[in-house]
Structure 1
Amino acid sequence: MVVKQVKHWLVTRANAARWRPIQEWAEARGADFSQVRDGQGFLIEQPKALPGPLRIEWGEPQRSYMPGAELRMRCEMRLHSDLQLMVLCRTLMEELERAVFEAYTDTLKTRVDTDTPEEMRWLVMFPKLTSMASQLVRQRYGVVGVTKDLAHDWLDGELSTALAQASQDLLPEGHPFVLMSMRGNLYLRTQMDEPDLPKVQAFVRLLETAAREAHRAANKMSDGGAWPTTTSIAWTPSVRPDAS
């Protein structure tokens, strides 16, 4: 027991030095920084962030498709619950589509399990956006949404520019990355083996851009009439192993 406590103390102390730049940056923003249990990651919470309360986590992945440690972010926006949109690395999209197709066609299954992550279910449920102004964004990312119009409104403009810029260095080709608008919030997941302050800052800026653009798209939809609903969308996968 004593050995375990000493080991935990040593790990916590080592991480405190290792993550000092990130902690100082977080505290300068008015956020709380803490190490998670067993010192295997950290948590940053900033209730008064703009454009909405921000939560940042780094540590063990929560998704099986993340091959290493994961950076997770959530920006609370209180958007319409049916503003369901997603942009993800195209390589990852193709991998998830194959997984969904294999799960659906398995002789032991007649449907995709309801506990399947939204990332996979949305590839089945929602239409893909194929018309994008940026050729680079079209080549590197896949985009789906409850409607193509909403997805286009979200992506068109600052978010497209930010994604194109991220493709230059922050998100090399094939790097696992998911950005989603759901349950009224914005979420970001990406692989990050070691937390790096400049990269964390860059991903925060990307999330903030996506949040502002989601708010703009939501306002445009509200001005235009009734929101689309997902309650009647049936489970009828249209993906194939070679889907693009």
Structure 2
Amino acid sequence: MYYPMYVDPTYILIIIGVLLSLAASTKVKSTFGRYSQVRSLSGLTGAQTAERILRQAGIYDVGIARVSGDLTDHYDPSSKTLRLSDSVYGSTSVAAVSVAAHECGHAIQHQNNYVPLKIRGALVPIANFGAGISWPLIVIGILMGGSSLLINIGIWMFVAVVAFHLVTLPVEFNASSRALKIMESSGILHGDENRYAKEVLGAAALTYVAGAASMILQLLRLLILTGAFRGNDDER
């Protein structure tokens, strides 16, 4: 019978991260699905909700466009465009209204020069580059006999990715907080609808928490693996 000579125990960190992400994704899809069946009393569509909130905030230079896909809603600060998915743009459900209001929260952050949003924007190119180059640098460093310089650069590149995910948390939480306050104060949602909206946006927030946790676990695994390699290299 064949037994593997070595099983990497750090894989458990990857598995935990994957499970967290799957659980969060399942939660947001089920919650959005449930409240996408509940029509808001105001009768506003996601697009109409976004237009009303932006106008109330004194924002007239942000466009509203439809984007294909499921839960692909986002605010693009470079073009000042609020992009709403097919399931949000023309829907009058509580879920659609909530998501549209959340994206408006980002537009308001942009208008108010919200510092975490500016930091996240500055980290985007660094994080994208780091995500693609970190592991190759580390592997090359190891293959070159343990080049500490390349390994350290790779680790710091991955740290930039983790930093992006961490700074995303206050940005998303703040956008949801703004959305909930605006929807309640302006009468876009009424009574129990505000509680439903909180559930929708709370479930969405879990995906960002899970994403950040997954990145931290990957960084921890990276530090363990490179630390173990360096330890073995020092012994030689």
Would the TM-score normalized by the shorter structure come out above 0.5?
no
Structure number with the higher helix fraction is 2
**Taking structure 2 as the reference length, what is the TM-score of the superposition?**
0.33
**Larger Rg computed on CA atoms:** 2
Structure number with the higher strand fraction is 1
